Structure 1
Amino acid sequence: MYFLLCVLIIMIPIWLLYLSIRCRLYIINIPMPRCNLLFGHAFEFLDKKRILSKFTEYCIEYGGIYKIYIPPKLPTLIISDPELIQQLTTTHLEKSLDYKVFKRWIGQGLLTADVKVWKTNRRLITPCFGRLSTLISFVDIFEKNGNQLVNYLENQMDNNSIDVFPLIKIITLNSMCETSMGVSKLNPDYMQTYCQSMQKLLKIYINRPSSIKRYDFLYRLSNDYIEEEKALKVVSEIFKMIMKEKINNNAEKNVDEENSNLSFLDMLLEIQTKYGLSKEYIRDEVNTFLLGGHDTTATAIAFTLYSLAMNQHIQDKVLAEQIELFGSFKEDLEVSHTELKQMKYLDLVIKESLRMFPPIPAIGRRITSDFKLGDYDLPKNMNVTVFIYGCHHNPKYFPEPDKFIPERFLDSTPSSFIPFSFGPRNCIGNKFAMLQMKSCISKVVRYFKLLPPKPDYNMNLIITATLFSENGIRLSLEKRVSSE
């Protein structure tokens, strides 16, 4: 026993030294921030609240490309230069290996699917989100759920520090179920439980790849595995509930209704029948769109409302545009698709919010063959992180990046603005999301004056697959008085 202990004491430092030397010889011409000889950058990123700012500092210092080393993994390349991002995301579509942890939840859905599967599924699914008539039909649902959010917020009027994010998540989840799934009778308490379970899964999955729990045999011994099992049961149950209500709804339809206002799920079921696809195909895509369709949109709405609360002069311009469109701010107005498209300044505001607070701050790609990225030769199987947040906060592309300036998008949308990713594997629901954001934000601004929270606070931003504030996205409210 004593001999074995001595061997371990000797071998572990030798092993760590070997990993360190291997790291420094790996794509040697790509810069790497200074790090610990044996433990790489591991200690530097123990504080999750500093990861965003630290990675962004490195993006600026090293010109948009550098490598990070956390043993025992090989170094990961971090890129934030727009030209490099576009070159990579248009040619390499395979997701990085870090995404495999999501497969117990969303299997071969669009987010995680291998490239061959993704190409087939994307081609089949794109028409479900590309039809203008379908998007127009969704506006009434967005408006109805926006009214529900107003009711939630009205009940919080006495609270000087409202965390709006959990309230908005319920609304966007309801909207996703009613529009894309075509169901509207799900239990509200269960919807709340689903949101909590989903957030738990995201935290578990984002932490796994950078810890010893990345190894399955160690992960299965951890408490995270037990918590994941519980959360997966909840998300599995909501899929069953959606399918049960969808079957009941379809059985109650008359002939005239059968081909009108088909939901995303209706189209998926048609695709399944036509091409003989499995039940798992439906499950994976439903789970993918429940995640991607409500959480990221809720994040974007919440950060935009917070930004308006912290920038009163910009909020005044948004309200002025509403008055110009409708003659007053008419808080009880039901807005049409045409009117949403006319909200040009609100569009700028949303873009600036997506720049400052991109809901997906980073994405991963894997190099599937030796590849020249800019001036650098990358080896096969290298993992690359596309750091969207760092690109959006680089003064080279966006002067005064920490200031909220919607007018920066007046002339054009720069290539460095990539909140929905870039290339063939970009976000399929970006038009859907923008429409819902406009509907919800315009309605809230007409009902309430958004004010900073009391007492003041600073958001603790971290990455949990999406951009997340550990201490909430907070503001206070004051009811507007109609001008009529």
Structure 2
Amino acid sequence: MSSLKVLLNDAEKHFGKLSSFYVHHIIPYVKRRSPHTYIAAAVVAFLSYQVYNAVRVPRNLRHIPAVPYWKYMKSALSGEGIDVRAQKVILPVLAKSPNGIYLRPNEFGWTVAIASPAAMKTLFLRTDDYPKHSSFNKNMESLAVRFGGAENIAILNGSVWKKHRTIANPAFHRSMPVRMFGKQCEKMMVAFEKEGDGLVNVDVPKLLQRFTLDVIGLAAFDYNFEALDNPNNEKVTMYNEIIKGTQNPVYFFFPILEKYFLWAFPKRKALHRKMDEMNTIFFSIIDRKRKTLASNKNNIEEVDKDLLTLMLEANEDTENPQHQLSDAELRDNLAVFFLAGHDTTSNTLCFALYYLAANQHVQEKAREEALRILGDGDDIVYPSAQQCSDMKYIYMVMKETLRMDGPAQNTIPRQSSRDTELAGTFIPNGTSLIADMFVMHHDPSVWKDPEAFVPERFAPGGESESKAGQGLSWAPFGSGSRQCIGMNFSLAEQKVALSMLLRKFTWTLPDNSTIKEHIVIGGGVGIIYPEELHLKFTKRF
């Protein structure tokens, strides 16, 4: 056995030298050859490296149940949704785990995935033991990292993170423009009737994405993407192409492609050029907003202040320059706000509308609450913040939607800062970890009949409340000090949109719908979204 270890160690050393030689000598050579030659050479080298380095479970993690590598990767790269992968690949392995901990591949190699309430709570609350992964913001060749940035509140740790939190958190919590939500929702409802086939066949994801993009643009820095008024304009197209590109599973699992072989993928390279253009827009907005604030500081009503204005004010009020955020840091945090407030919210609303269409008794019960709070009639009513707080059953619908199809499959990776024990399992120092919320939310050992849509789980005294002492069984936004910064913003926006839609329309699945039994989840990584969703709406007035 010892001689085998020596051979394996020698093989690793030689392979490392071979990889270095390839990067520094072979790549420059094949760049001078025909496209077919260097692409073929890149593919062969890439596959050799991945097969050797990625397939094997590291020796110090072999005590944890692991998903079959090839079966998992086939599912992830074939376009199957996380729901299919969870049922076919993950849950059978998880059933053999004594504590809801298992291994799966991600961009950092084999990663410890947490899918039990007790271990989930520990992971979220012990931030010193499990900080955000130190390498996440270092791969600046990645389109996803270029969009989100390397210096934002979502990925930083320690004192630097606290500096960002001091500026960003108060601004985000002061800004809750529910009236603006209502105005944009009214625009969206008009588009329901006028565009495409009208109310008989509404392309729900397309319209909700436009609604939430306009909302976050206006709320974040008073920038109008005009997605509802002019959906095909250059700003909207560029933004949507970039976001779609960040969710491509190929570049997620194999970051080496963007790091060393971007020249071989012209379409991907074009997306990086669009990212340059998007950055120009971000920085020009920050510059213009700072000048506007300097000339009109005392003339802006509190209710009209967007997130960037509030952050700039907090930045100016910070006496120590070392505690202020640079323009680059402001830009990175605004990008995170976009991720927290656009696709996540639009997709959650899509799933909510689907479940209300598929469960008519739930839709009618939710409508009764909306009419009781907002009143019935043929006028448009914008819900107030207090009225949103009174929407108890609609909130239960939202919470069950977030359990079934929450905005994120899992968290940004964390990394153990020392040798630790998590739910009785040894976690070596430097191990990558993720909180696997989707799998936990669909685990029959955690939730009764997890594939059924039952908002009453979240009623007082319901199933969710009975689990309070077991840890975190519902965690779509994370928990603890690193909880999603956009949670309250998103929840308020959802309540406004759902209540206004319930008041004006009833809706059903079209007669020829292919998703009557089950909605199809898209095959991207990170954000959970419906593959497609068309609904039939009927006006109440």
Short-chain TM bin? 0.7 to 0.9
Instruction: Answer with 432-441 or 230-239: which moved more.
Output: 230-239
Counterpart in 1 of 2:219?
179
Counterpart in 2 of 1:166?
206
Q: Is the 8 A contact 1:366 1:381 kept in 2?
A: yes
TM-score under structure 2 length normalisation: 0.77
**Does residue 467 in structure 1 map to residue 528 in structure 2?**
yes
Counterpart in 1 of 2:182?
143
Instruction: Answer with 79-88 or 13-22: which moved more.
Output: 13-22
Give 3-state SS (helix, strand or coil) of 2:494's partner. helix
1:55-454 mapped onto 2 (5 Å cutoff): 55=86, 56-58=90-92, 60-63=94-97, 64-68=100-104, 74-91=109-126, 92-95=130-133, 97=135, 100=139, 101=142, 102-107=144-149, 108-131=151-174, 134-135=175-176, 138-156=177-195, 158=198, 160-184=200-224, 188=230, 189-204=233-248, 206-211=249-254, 213-214=256-257, 216-223=259-266, 225-240=268-283, 242-243=285-286, 246=289, 249-250=292-293, 253=296, 255-257=298-300, 261-273=304-316, 274=318, 275=321, 276-328=324-376, 330-363=378-411, 364-411=413-460, 413=465, 414=467, 415-454=472-511
Give 3-state SS (helix, strand or coil) of 1:180's partner. helix
The 1:258–1:366 alpha-carbon spacing in structure 2 relative to 1, beyond 3 Å, is same
Structure 1: unaligned runs, 5 residues or longer? none
The C-alpha deviation readout for 1:155-199, integer Å capped at 9, x for no partner, is 246364432112112211222222232344868524422442232
Q: Is the 8 A contact 2:239 2:278 kept in 1?
A: no
Aligned length: 463
Q: d(CA) in 2 for partners of 1:266 and 1:16? A: 46
TM-superposed CA distance for 1:74, in Å, is: 4.4
The 1:453–1:252 alpha-carbon spacing in structure 2 relative to 1, beyond 3 Å, is farther
Counterpart in 2 of 1:25?
59
Q: d(CA) in 1 for partners of 2:389 and 2:242? A: 32
| Alignment-mate amino acid for residue 180 of structure 2 | I
Q: d(CA) in 2 for partners of 1:317 and 1:119? A: 43
TM-score under structure 1 length normalisation: 0.85
The 1:97–1:311 alpha-carbon spacing in structure 2 relative to 1, beyond 3 Å, is farther
Q: Is the 8 A contact 1:82 1:416 kept in 2?
A: yes
TM-superposed CA distance for 1:44, in Å, is: 5.1
| Alignment-mate amino acid for residue 115 of structure 2 | S
The 1:421–1:330 alpha-carbon spacing in structure 2 relative to 1, beyond 3 Å, is farther
Q: d(CA) in 1 for partners of 2:124 and 2:257? A: 25
The C-alpha deviation readout for 1:349-399, integer Å capped at 9, x for no partner, is 111111111111111212222221111111122112221111111122221
Q: Which runs of 4+ in 1 moved over 6 A?
A: 11-18
TM-superposed CA distance for 1:21, in Å, is: 9.2
| Alignment-mate amino acid for residue 112 of structure 1 | I
Q: Is the 8 A contact 1:330 1:446 kept in 2?
A: no
Q: d(CA) in 1 for partners of 2:435 and 2:297? A: 48
| Alignment-mate amino acid for residue 418 of structure 1 | A
RMSD of Structure 2 on Structure 1 (CA)? 3.2
2:538 is aligned, of 478, 481, 484, to 478
| Alignment-mate amino acid for residue 241 of structure 2 | S
Q: Is the 8 A contact 2:54 2:110 kept in 1?
A: no
The 1:212–1:191 alpha-carbon spacing in structure 2 relative to 1, beyond 3 Å, is closer
Structure 2: unaligned runs, 5 residues or longer? 1-17, 19-40
Give 3-state SS (helix, strand or coil) of 1:103's partner. helix
Q: d(CA) in 2 for partners of 1:178 and 1:18? A: 48
TM-superposed CA distance for 1:269, in Å, is: 1.6
Q: d(CA) in 2 for partners of 1:380 and 1:478? A: 57
The 1:236–1:24 alpha-carbon spacing in structure 2 relative to 1, beyond 3 Å, is closer
TM-superposed CA distance for 1:212, in Å, is: 6.4
Q: d(CA) in 1 for partners of 2:392 and 2:427? A: 42
Q: Is the 8 A contact 1:79 1:387 kept in 2?
A: yes
The C-alpha deviation readout for 1:418-444, integer Å capped at 9, x for no partner, is 111122211112111111100011111
Counterpart in 2 of 1:53?
84
Q: d(CA) in 2 for partners of 1:416 and 1:447? A: 34
Q: d(CA) in 2 for partners of 1:350 and 1:326? A: 18
| Alignment-mate amino acid for residue 229 of structure 1 | H
Q: Is the 8 A contact 2:376 2:503 kept in 1?
A: no
The 1:45–1:336 alpha-carbon spacing in structure 2 relative to 1, beyond 3 Å, is closer
